[in-house]
Amino acid sequence: MPSESWKFYQEWNNAIFLHWQVDVTELEKFVPKELEIDLFEGKPWVSVVVFSMEKIRPKNLPSFPPISDFEETNIRTYVKSNNKTGVYFLSIEGGTSWSCKIAKLISGLPYRYSKMNRIEFQYTSQNPEFNDKLDIKFTIGKELRRKSALDKWLTERYALFQDNEKTIYEFDIHHLEWPLNEVELKKTDLCYQRFDRLIKNEPNKMHYSKGVKVIAWGKNKIEKN
């Protein structure tokens, strides 16, 4: 963990991870050249992750549920920078408009609002502006008591990288290891036209987690070449 004090607390609860093994040539179109695409046994991966963001707050302030609690959908891939491994968001959506505006202002992450709805064992998200749609129904299976190397590679990530025109931002986070369960999809209706060469067919791997408690640090800048 970084030596300085952490700045934000948050909880990522009731998470569903859908993972696809992808073609590196297609993925390179979306990742800044300053970041190295991380590979597992020579192959890159992209994941769609949906979860409930809860109790997000600065270190010394209480959370405010109308802003701090919202549903999130993100599409991420796995990268390296200076031998540090982490994730890079291809897309990040929140289910509350004000939460997206504040999160984007504070963090610089490219949050955008989408209409989301979550009921037990079903999750939907729609964004007419981008013509994005996600509708999944699922059942939760048994706990993974012995995680594979790939299970951990896909979930245990403690840094985030995001960019704008001139800068790459690096964020450090920390949490206990994700508790993971098997999950089975009963319905999969997923349309992200920009990523249709990456996200297609059924996922190659899936996970469910009841969640983790997360602390996060401020952002560090890496200048683009």
- CA distances to 89, 146, 194, 195, 197 from 29, in Å: 13, 35, 11, 10, 11
Instruction: Look at residue 10 and tell me whether its pLDDT is greater than 80.
Output: yes
Strand residue runs (E) in 95-180: 112-113, 115-119, 122-127, 132-143, 159-163, 167-174
pLDDT for res 107: 87
Q: What 3-state class would DSSP assign to 131? A: coil
Which pair of tokens denotes residue 85? Answer: 């491994």
**Domain CATH number, residue 85:** 2.40.400.10
- Residue 107 inside a domain? The answer is yes
Q: What is the pTM of this model?
A: 0.95
Residue 189 forms beta bridges with which residues? 135
pLDDT interval class at 34 (50, 70, 90)? very high
Is 2 part of a structural domain of the chain? no
Model confidence over 170-192: pLDDT tens digits? 999 999 999 999 999 999 999 99
Asked whether residue 117 is assigned to any structural domain, the reply reads: yes
Domain assignment present for 142: yes
Residue 57 placed within a domain? yes
**Boundaries of domain holding 158:** 8-223
The yes-or-no verdict on residue 164 having pLDDT over 80 is yes
Q: Say if 3 falls within a structural domain.
A: no
- Number of structural domains found in the chain: 1
Domain contains 27? yes
